């Protein structure tokens, strides 16, 4: 039996980290969505939260994940302090507050730390050359972003937390991550 290999223009492995408050709703959902979209591409994806860990995914999150082919039943949250964020090429947060927390603790990571929505907008204007290694390229180009992108709170940059929200809010969040994952993979491959 011949197995068709998934076509990829991604030449170098990429490590992506999603961060939210508790790693219970948004960041694990984003992680699972990107993992599904990446398929066999060399993309390593993980998630963490600013709070202590060991929390399960909320029931609506498990149900909406199942609708989209994601199994979130075994997810247990973990704190950002349990991993080394410097080991990731791209750090994507759910709110500006999360990005500020990371930049305050790890100033050298500010150039490659964005909210999901900031990155989606930014990536449309900043095409990465196919052969450019992501981390050094972001160190150069991500550092030119205005500091205001991390200050204050902006509803335009936040992915709303659906923690106690009805299932419709979870589906809206999942739609954001579906579109984001497609855009991120296309951007990484230089399309």
Q: Do 15 and 51 contact (CB within 8 A), yes or no?
A: no
Q: For residue 80, give the DSSP letter.
A: G
The pLDDT tens digits for 125-157 are 998 887 788 889 888 888 877 766 666 566 678
| pLDDT for the residue numbered 86 | 95
How do the domains of the chain map onto residue ranges?
14-188
What CA–CA distance (Å, rounded) separates 90 from 84? Answer: 13
| pLDDT for the residue numbered 149 | 67
Q: Do 161 and 26 contact (CB within 8 A), yes or no?
A: yes
14-188 classified as CATH 3.40.50.2300:
yes
Crossing angle (nearest 10°) for helices 26-38 and 59-67: 20
How much is the pTM? 0.91
Q: In this model, does residue 101 exceed pLDDT 80?
A: yes
The chain-wide mean pLDDT, for the chain, equals 89
Crossing angle (nearest 10°) for helices 59-67 and 167-188: 50
């Amino acid at each position: 039996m011949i197995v068709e290999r998934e076509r990829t223009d991604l030449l170098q492995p990429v490590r992506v980290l999603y961060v939210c408050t508790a790693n219970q709703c948004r960041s694990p959902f984003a992680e699972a969505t990107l993992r599904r979209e990446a398929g066999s591409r060399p993309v390593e994806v993980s998630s963490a939260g600013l709070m202590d860990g060991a929390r399960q995914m909320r029931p609506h999150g498990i149900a909406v994940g199942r609708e989209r082919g994601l199994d979130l039943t075994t997810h247990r949250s973990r704190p950002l302090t349990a991993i080394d964020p410097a080991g990731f090429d791209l750090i994507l947060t759910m709110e500006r507050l999360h990005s500020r927390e990371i930049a305050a603790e790890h100033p050298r990571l500010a150039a490659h730390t964005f909210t999901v929505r900031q990155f989606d907008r930014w990536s449309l204007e900043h095409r990465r050359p196919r052969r450019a290694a992501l981390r050094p390229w972001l160190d150069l180009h991500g550092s030119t972003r205005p500091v205001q992108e991390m200050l204050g709170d902006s509803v335009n940059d936040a992915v709303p937390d659906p923690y106690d929200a009805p299932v419709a809010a979870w589906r809206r969040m999942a739609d954001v991550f579906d579109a984001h994952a497609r855009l991120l993979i296309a951007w990484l491959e230089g399309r």
